[in-house]
Amino acid sequence: MSPTAPDQPEIAAASPDHYGAALWMATGGRSRHAHRGRVTALLAAEKQGKISFDGLMTATRGNRVVSSIWCLSQPGKIGTVWGPGILSEEPDSTADLLIQRAIQFGKQRECHLLQSLVGQENRAAGNLLAASGFRSITLLSHLEALTEDTHAEPPSSHLTFRRCEDFRSEAFRTLVAQTYENSLDCPELDSMREVEDVLDGYHATSGRSTYNWYTLENDGEMMGVVITAHHAEPQQLELIYFGLKPRYRQLGLGSEMIRFVLQLAQFLGCRSTITGVDQRNTPAMALYRRFGFQPVDVKELFLLPLRLLSVAVA
């Protein structure tokens, strides 16, 4: 517990008695009903050992939580920050103290980068993060295409989508790194992460399975990559990443890759396909619209590098 002046709240790791209140405040959402379900799911996941609340921190006055933040250390040496959430009558300085504790936690867990996705309904959290050194990068659109509403043709028979057998192989790592060259999706991420760390993050998002990871090939030449995750419980296919080597761009291959993904979603019996895209990436936004993807949410991306690297990856 941090020593505090008489007029300051107590800053500490959240006690189990405060988990619910702390999560509610840190992960505040638009819908009280949906938000309650999210908090309940997080509490259940922690009891099952699927997530950790080690980075969940609170500011309390007496037994009342007045502000909270959650720094979740994730595979790929990245930390995701939720919040800070703060009561309206509490001074911003309280949230500032929590943000500094979250940064300290990220460093202790050897994260190379902290990120926060802030909803448009929670601009106060974004302002507080920015005041503590986080940089607002862009708006990310979260898109969804309902399987019953999409009728994409299969990809060209001249193309081969080959399942990735070893995502740690030199060939696959090199391929992915090449697809990041001159990327229009969050180019500010260049030099912040190593490709191995990025792939570790993708692997975790995919439930530690590469069964739905593919390389795009033609005549034995690897041209690009498609990385998806099948989430069976919500019946969704998540398009985590797809990209092409620079010399294969603007040849219509992006459309072929989206056709493949939508066909895969149909084959797996998914209700929908979801993805996220940097709103500044106008070619990708236009491509998704053409295949029936619709925006379902928008988040502002904030980043704080904790270590600078000399490599360029997304």
Percent share of the chain, pLDDT over 90? 77
Same fold, 10-133 and 144-296: yes
Q: What mean pLDDT do residues 78-84 have?
A: 95
* 35 vs 41: CA distance, rounded Å: 10
Q: What are phi and psi of 112, to 5 degrees?
A: -90, -15
pLDDT of 5 = 46
Whether residue 30 has pLDDT greater than 50: no
Neighbours of 223 (CB within 10 A): 23
Q: Check: CB of residue 119 under 8 Å from CB of residue 84.
A: no
Average pLDDT over residues 126-150: 95
| Tens digit of each residue's pLDDT (9 = 90 or more) over 249-269 | 999 999 999 999 999 999 999
Is 120 in a helix, a strand, or coil?
helix
In angstroms, the CA 176 to CA 183 distance is 11
Q: What is the DSSP string of 122-185?
A: GHHHHHHHHHTT-EEEEEEEEEEEEGGG--PPPPPTT-EEEE-S-TTSHHHHHHHHHHTTT-SS
Lowest mean pLDDT: which of 22-26, 200-204, 207-211, 305-309? Answer: 305-309
Q: What is the mean pLDDT of residues 89-109?
A: 96
Phi/psi of residue 312, nearest 5 degrees: -115, 105
Pull the structure tokens for residue 293.
Answer: 């993807």
The dihedral built from the CA positions of residue 55, 35, 114 and 103, taken in this order, carries a sign that is negative
Q: Which two three-digit tokens encode residue 72? A: 């979740």
Mean pLDDT of all residues in 82-89:
93
160, 206 Cβ separation under 8 angstroms: no
Q: Which residues pair with 161 in a beta bridge?
A: 216
Residue with tokens 């502000």: 67
Residue 22 sits at the vertex; the CA angle it makes with 128 and 29, to the nearest 5 degrees, is 65
Does 47 or 4 have the greater pLDDT score? Answer: 47
Q: Are 215 and 189 in contact (CB under 8 A)?
A: no
* Percentage of residues in the chain having pLDDT higher than 70: 93
Domains of the chain by residue range: 10-133, 144-296
Residue 294 has pLDDT above 60, yes or no: yes
Dist. CA 112–CA 304, nearest whole Å? 9
Q: How far apart are the first and last CA of the chain?
A: 37
Q: Which of 279, 220, 224 is nearest to 250 (CA)?
A: 224
Q: Any idea what DSSP says for residue 279?
A: T
Q: In the predicted model, is pLDDT for residue 1 greater than 50?
A: no
Is 3 buried (19+), middle (13-18) or exposed (0-12) by CB count in 10 A?
exposed
The CATH number assigned to the domain with range 144-296 reads 3.40.630.30
The pLDDT value recorded for residue 138 is 94
User: Does the pLDDT value for residue 290 go beyond 60?
Assistant: yes
User: What are residue 145's DSSP bridge partners?
Assistant: 273
Answer for the pair 135, 305: CB distance below 8 angstroms, yes or no: no
- Find the length of the chain: 314
- Please report which confidence band the pLDDT of residue 308 belongs to, taking 50, 70 and 90 as the band edges: low
The CATH homologous superfamily of the domain defined by 10-133 = Gcn5-related N-acetyltransferase (GNAT) (3.40.630.30)
User: Does residue 31 surpass a pLDDT of 50?
Assistant: no
pLDDT of residue 91: 94
> Does residue 238 contact residue 250 with C-beta atoms inside 8 Å?
no
Q: Quickly state the pLDDT bin for 122 (edges 50, 70, 90).
A: confident
